[in-house]
Structure 1
Amino acid sequence: MTADVELADETLADRAYRVLRDRLVLLDISPGEPLSESVLADEIGVGRTPMREALKRLEADYLVVTYPRRGTFASAVDLTDLAEITEIRGALVPLAARRAAAVRGGEAAAALTAVLEEVRAVTGEESRRDLMELDLAVHRIVDHAASSSYLEETLVRLDGLGTRLWCLLIDRLPAMRDHVCEHVPLMEAILAGDEQEAEALARAHVHHFDTAVRAVL
């Protein structure tokens, strides 16, 4: 599974947004890199209007920034944002996990079960890029399982910003396998309907992320 999964009912603007969002989050597009609307539209296979809409959404996600008369650029990754991102995720990720457990994954239960098996099968031989994509996919499925569009939208944005921090430092961080595999008991708790355990595990996961990043700064 990757973070970039094509959706059957998405609009062209949605597609442009999804593809570009993952490129920006995973640092395939480097921080500070200029973005050409026409070049990106051709690469993704959409028109200029959908691409323009996608870039506006990405600006709202803090992933791109537009300067008058200069153009649009991939946003910088500011390591000083870690404390604020962690504080907000520390409140919302456990809430999402608890809500998801209350409905045993809800409409995302099948996707959660599938990605759980994928994480269980991780050996550590996978590339860091593949593990980053898997980690991002897990977070997005759990966010969706919380059954709140408002909470999901906020968390997907925060998860993206957190992932950019992780990607920037990935060569100095501990092995990705352990970080990704922390999701196994969390997803098991959600599917079992154990709200308290899911909440506690989600809080611990956010704390571990913050601790690992701070250790290499």
Structure 2
Amino acid sequence: MPATPTQATTSSMADRAYDLLRDRLVLLEIAPTHPIHEPALAEELNVGRTPIREALKRLETDHLVVSYPRRGTFATAVDFHELNQISEIRQVLEPMAAHNAAANKDPEIRAELAEYLKKIDSLDESMDQRSLLLLDVHIHRLIYRASANKHLEETLVRLDNLVTRIWCLVIDQMPPIAEHIIEHSALLRAILDGDGTKAAQLVSAHVAHFEQALRKAP
């Protein structure tokens, strides 16, 4: 049966709550292990309790929140020791996504990739830290979507969220964010050129370089 207008509205509000809360959790604006107060969030985001609960269920699947009976819901802790396992998987899947993205001829996807390339090439280093972090996250998510494999996309988005949380934990000890983002320029060009082999090689090197920088930070 098609969704009723009320169901569609609730779903839309849940999606909005999910997107907003996910970014806050990924950027550690909701601190690790911090309790999630549903009534306060519902009021702040101007949505009902039901959309908040639906969003939190999805975020628990993403390993960004955890719920305990009779205790409530909390932001998950950031475990630096997970970096090795996350990077091991990303080294396999990120090149696959980049290779697939290079084969994607969808004009809308290509237009989005080209637009992000323009943003990188005209990067304003005076951008605030949050805007730069979100730019990096959105570039990654677009490449994953361009892979045209929803299972690959979902897995990589979840892993990128987790590694970004680790990044935010030590960001003051890391190289400037803009330097990291500029590395995506050659990658996006390779994807737009349809060079899947080069795109895969570039993203593999990018993941390795980023992991090394993180390990030097603590």
- The answer to whether the 8 A contact 1:106-1:147 is kept is no
- Tell me the equivalent position of 1:142: 143
Number of residue pairs the alignment of both structures matches: 208
Cα drift, residue 123 of structure 1: 3.9
Query: Which has the higher Rg, Structure 1 or Structure 2?
Result: 2
Cα drift, residue 102 of structure 1: 1.2
Residues 146-196 of structure 1 show CA distances to partners (whole Å, capped at 9, x for unaligned) of 111111111111110011010111000011111000000000000110010
Secondary structure, counterpart of 1:122 in structure 2: coil
CA RMSD of aligned residues (A): 1.2
- Tell me the equivalent position of 2:197: 196
Could you tell me which runs of 5 or more consecutive residues in structure 2 were left unpaired when the two chains were aligned: 1-10
- Tell me the equivalent position of 1:5: none
1:117-196 matches, within 5 Å, as 117-196=118-197
Secondary structure, counterpart of 1:72 in structure 2: strand
Segments ≥4 residues shifted beyond 6 Å: none
Cα drift, residue 106 of structure 1: 5.9
Cα drift, residue 44 of structure 1: 1.3
- Tell me the equivalent position of 1:6: none
| Distance (whole Å) between structure 2 residues aligned to residue 47 and residue 154 of structure 1 | 29
Residues 107-138 of structure 1 show CA distances to partners (whole Å, capped at 9, x for unaligned) of 42111111111111114332222211110110
Residues 75-121 of structure 1 show CA distances to partners (whole Å, capped at 9, x for unaligned) of 10000000011011111111000000012566421111111111111
| Distance (whole Å) between structure 2 residues aligned to residue 45 and residue 155 of structure 1 | 30
Residues 8-37 of structure 1 show CA distances to partners (whole Å, capped at 9, x for unaligned) of xx7111111111000000111110111011
- Tell me the equivalent position of 1:18: 19
Secondary structure, counterpart of 1:124 in structure 2: coil
TM-score by length of 2: 0.92
